[in-house]
Amino acid sequence: MKEKLELLKQNATSDINNVSDEQSLLRLKSTYLGKDSQIMQVMKSMKDLTIEEKKEIGKLANEVKSFIENLVKEKMNEISSKKENKRIFDNTLPVGDEIGSLSPITIVANEVAEVLKKMGFMIVSGPEMEKEYYNFEALNIPKNHPARDMQDTYWTNLGDVLRTHTSPVQARSMETYGAPIRMAAPGRCFRNEDIDACHENTFFQIEGMVIDKEVSISNLIYVMKNILKEIYKKDIEVRLRPGFFPFVEPGFELDIKCLICGGKGCPTCKNSGWLELCPCGMIHPEVLRMGNINPDEYSGFAFGIGLTRMAMMKYKINDIRMLNSGEIRHLKQFKVK
Ligand SMILES: [Zn+2]
């Protein structure tokens, strides 16, 4: 019986050392230590032995059993640590060379901000979840004003609003910095829109504002033309149409000559040859007053460029939904080489 146990020990050692996967090891474990294993048979048959033999063989059998148990345990550790290493350090796997890319809106926003910085504008940001006061009242849009209907948006239970434009940053900047000031604020805005190829509930604008002594409409046109020239790398024809916005007086719609058809008329510009780019105008005296700036001393202009539309024009993207989709194949086109 002693020999049997010795042989068992040897066989188990060589078998276990030779396996390299978990399943074979578990099979061996069952062979050498399971209910029907030889070692268990030895232990069962001990009842026929003398007390002396029982002592001796029992001790040996227990030693062999725990020896095999240890072997299995060590082998199991070895196998699982190899598996672990493979997962973390497998240097045979191809190295990922994927570098992310900026969204076309971010690219355009950065470009506009750079142009404005060169003209002495500071770039500021404001909260996307805004106080009702800054989104509406401070911009001369009191409760029940019809302009509020055009800016249906999302409200929180506490009465805050997902800002409908970047204009609240104007009001905040007047309060914080006073006049004179040149500021621009790019950011995300929200409206309660049904989504289709031309409409999104989430879009981007960049707000710009200049307040100083003797600021005029020609300053506004100069700044706008300069931005467009830098972004589209050529002179862009613009025109101003009267437009009503409660926070400017006079207010305008700034149109640019359609870049797709060059002004001849196409579906994108609805055959007019012109595209609305941004509302703008001279800041309403009431808005200045609410921002603690004296309208008799200072004047200013403000504009809100639709960055989403600008990116669509620049990259000829015909479906606005692409821009918020996170679609990798779409974004890959804008990868920095
Ligand atoms: Zn056109």
Render each residue's pLDDT in the chain as its tens digit; 337 residues.
Answer: 888 888 889 999 999 988 888 888 999 998 898 888 888 888 888 888 888 888 888 888 889 999 999 999 999 888 888 776 666 656 666 666 667 788 889 999 999 999 999 999 999 999 999 999 999 999 999 888 887 877 788 899 988 999 999 999 999 999 999 999 999 999 999 998 887 777 788 999 999 999 999 999 999 999 988 988 888 888 888 899 998 888 899 999 999 888 878 889 888 788 898 988 889 999 999 999 999 999 999 999 999 998 988 888 888 887 788 887 777 777 777 765 4
Q: How far is CA 20 from CA 73, 85, 91, 143, in A?
A: 13, 15, 20, 76
Token readout for 186 is: 């790019």
Residue 268 Cα to ligand 1 middle (Å): 5
CATH superfamily of 104-334: Bira Bifunctional Protein; Domain 2 (3.30.930.10)
Q: For position 87, what pLDDT does the model report?
A: 60
Q: Report the C-alpha gap between 210 and 184 in whole angstroms.
A: 9
Measured in Å, residue 244 CA sits from the centre of ligand 1 at 24
Task: Identify whether the C-beta of residue 224 lies closer than 8 Å to the C-beta of residue 238.
Answer: yes
Check residue 191 and report its DSSP letter: -
Q: Tell me how far the alpha carbon of residue 258 lies from the centroid of ligand 1, in angstroms.
A: 4
Ion ligand 1 residues within 5 Å by Cβ? 258, 260-261, 266, 268-269
How long is the chain? 337
269 CA distance to ligand 1 middle (Å): 4
Position 337 scores a pLDDT of: 47
> Which residue type does 78 have?
E
Cβ–Cβ under 8 Å, residues 281 and 245: yes
Where are the domains positioned within the chain?
2-89, 104-334
User: Does the reported pTM lie above 0.75?
Assistant: no
Q: Are 229 and 235 in contact (CB under 8 A)?
A: yes
Distance 259 CA to ligand 1 centre (A): 6
Centre of ligand 1 to C-alpha 274, Å, is 7
Q: Report residue 25 as tokens.
A: 């090891």
CA of 265 to the centre of ligand 1 (A): 4
Contact 127, 101 (CB under 8 A): no
Burial (0-12, 13-18, 19+ Cβ within 10 Å), 292? exposed
Q: How does DSSP assign 273-337, residue by residue?
A: SEEEEEEEEEEPHHHHHHTT--TTT-EEEEEEEEHHHHHHHHHT---GGGGGT--HHHHGGG---
